[in-house]
Amino acid sequence: MRVVRYHEFGAPSVLQVDEAAKPAPGAGEVLIRVEAVGVNFAEVQRRQGIPIGGPAELPGSPGGDVAGIVESIGTGVVDVTAGDRVVTEVHQDAYADFVIAPARGLLHIPEGIDAAQATALTTPAQTAYGILKFSAAVRPGETVLVDAAAGGVGHLAVQVAKALGAGTVIATASSPEKLAFAKSLGADHAFDYTSDDWTDKVLEATDGKGADVVLDTVGGDILLKSLDVLATFGRLVFYGSASGADIPMINPMHLFGMKTVAGFSVYAMLYKRPEEFAAGQRELIEFVLAGKVKPIVHASLSLDEAVKAHEIMEARSQLGRVVLVP
């Protein structure tokens, strides 16, 4: 079978398609025949040698959100049978024809959701939902600001915020195309965060109050500016640093006004609060089936085009999800 790996850090061109033996599932595992793999920006950073959630190591093989058909199961697996359509996050060797995954984290794909869209139901959608539902505890009528609102998580966060009852959703992005895309998904306002006056526009749009909730994955200076437009009693949730810059120090003096800065981890929810995590998955699926949340696929590329997929991600030109289709 084919699997995409890299043997040195660097540009997207270091990705190569290797041949490997078809794996067999062990106890508590399943073998999945891959239909689609969602490409996550964290894997772009790891390929560059940036440690995300742990040391960057060689040889490397990207992880991703894998949707496909269960080919076979290992011992001790229950509630899953060969032929089931499932989606799950795979931490390495995800860009492949077949992958091994723990049965514990599998989500069955409902009828009516194709494989490419299903790749968003795990890491991206659960991140968007979990931030808003648990870390930020957004309340009906509140104003939500979504940084990087055209990306894999951001475009879902815009829609999830509306589905959870947010009164106003403000999107920030880095190009006119991305801003228009965010507004097409339901954002009430959209501002270019590369402009010097974007924070002034946020304050103007909120009558000087600021946003009740801010979702930031850009980091760097954008994180500090997002804190500046956080309302009294507001909650800023940080869940990544796509800018690659050093994470800035936050002066506690900026938190006067009862402002809160929190983080979010899908894994913390999955392993520490599994019942809440499962409930969130169920509500997300209801949102998708009801048309309230629609994962957008920017590009579907073959496994041999993994380099192109990373080029799109690295250029930050995607509107929604980039997937590989073996």
Spatial separation of the C-alpha atoms in residues 280 and 134, rounded to whole Å = 10
pLDDT (0 to 100) of residue 245: 56
Element of type H or E holding 34: strand 29-38
119 within domain boundaries: no
288 lies in some domain: no
Domain housing 62: 2-109+296-324
Within-domain flag for 199:
yes
pLDDT tens readout for residues 54-104 = 777 899 999 999 999 999 999 999 999 999 999 999 999 999 999 999 998
Same domain? 28 vs 135: no
Place of tokens 């309340």: 139
Going by C-alpha positions, the residue among 44, 71, 1, 244 that lies closest to residue 152 is: 44
Tens of pLDDT, residues 221-250: 888 899 999 999 999 999 876 666 567 778
21-39 pLDDT, tens digit each: 999 999 999 999 999 999 9
Query: How many domains does the chain divide into?
Result: 2
Whether 287 maps to a domain, the answer reads no
Q: Is 127 left (phi over 0), alpha (psi -120 to 50) or beta?
A: alpha
Q: Which of 226, 252, 267 is the last residue of a domain?
A: 267
**What's the predicted TM-score (pTM) here?**
0.91
Q: Is residue 38, in this structure, part of any structural domain at all?
A: yes
Could you read off the pLDDT of 187-215 as tens digits, one per residue?
A: 999 999 999 999 999 999 999 999 999 99
Q: Tens digits of per-residue pLDDT, 240-297?
A: 766 665 677 787 877 888 999 999 988 888 888 888 888 888 999 999 999 999 999 9
Per-residue pLDDT reduced to its tens digit, 124-162: 999 999 999 999 999 999 999 999 999 999 999 999 999
User: In CATH, what number is assigned to the domain containing residue 101?
Assistant: 3.90.180.10
Structure confidence at residue 218 as a pLDDT band (50, 70, 90): confident
- Report the alpha-carbon angle 218-63-11, nearest 5: 65
